[in-house]
Amino acid sequence: MSTSPPSGLRLAELALLTGATLEGDGDVVVTRVATLEHAGPGTIAFLANPRYRSQLATTRAAAVIVRPDDAAATTLPRLVAANPYAVYAKTAAALHPRPRPAAGLHATAIVAAGAEVAASASIGPGAVVEAGATIGARAIVGPLCAIGAGALLAEDVVLHAGVTVYPGCVVGARTIVHSGAVIGADGFGMAEEGGRWLKIAQVGRVVIGADVEIGANTTIDRGAIDDTVIEDDVKLDNQIQIGHNCVIGAHTAIAGCVGIAGSTRIGRNCRIGGAAMISGHLDIPDGTVISGSTGVYDSIAEPGVYTSAFPALPHRKWRRVMSQLRRLVELAARVDALEQRPKDAEGGR
């Protein structure tokens, strides 16, 4: 595995690579990314949030990435783009490429007869690939991963250490799965009989599209009958729970600690904030934004921004507000009674 530091890129090369406009000396060489505040020689920093604009005047970066409106605020060589954060992402990927293990099977890996592993794939120490599984070209299966029978990892998939992919599940091309994630465990399917629970066999799969990223310790349950589906370019943060038979639409991003109960369908291009809780058998349309810690108990008909979490208050003030909220039902009944009196009086004439 190569871990040598990057040799650096000329700013002109980065401009071509990222599609940004170059202003200033294109021969400046940068070797790593940095924040405006902590940048030093050989680094490139970016300004995406206006609150840090004053730091352009004091940064020690060799070059910066800015919006057109901010380009005149610095004399440093710069990459100018309408979306500097996206340019930063491409720049960081170019300057800090992930080290890649050598192709082949580690001596301690266990690959069952009948599994198909591309010659360019890498199977790490202690990893297990069961019979009938397929590992695509250039895929990386990290240490102690477990790939179930009949599972499919497409080309360029990266599984970090300790990922479990249950039998029959599919992971699409270029998808990245971080340590501890579990793909295809049984969904929470139980039937009650006589005060006891009967387990319902979960016979569906998890099918994950291309260019997905799945965070550490996230769990995605296999379908009860139909498949659980994660479409292309979905981004899942750490410690998310996705129940059986859910469908997550393409390009949706979900922050950490979100819980999604079974058979919920979330549309494309949605954004769901951390610790949101979403009940089962719901539909959420394309383009919906759900704020962090929001509870969603019914389907959403129209896209928009939805929030239910109570914002933080000083504890003493919170107690006063809660006391008033507890009286709302009583107050509403009193208002209804007051509104009814004129009608009663008119009816008595």
Identity of residue 106: H
Catalytic residue among 160, 178, 244, 251: 244
Query: Do 28 and 77 contact (CB within 8 A), yes or no?
Result: yes
d(CA 165, CA 110): 15
Verify whether residue 96 is a known catalytic residue.
Answer: no
d(CA 325, CA 348): 35
The residues near 239 (Cβ < 8 Å, ≥ 6 apart) are: 215, 216, 217, 218, 256, 257
d(CA 226, CA 26): 54
The residues near 26 (Cβ < 8 Å, ≥ 6 apart) are: 10, 11, 12, 15, 77
CB atoms within 10 A of CB 109: 20
Beta bridge partners, 183, equal 165, 220
Q: What is the CA radius of gyration of the chain?
A: 27
Query: Do 231 and 241 contact (CB within 8 A), yes or no?
Result: no
Which residues are known to be catalytic? Answer: 244
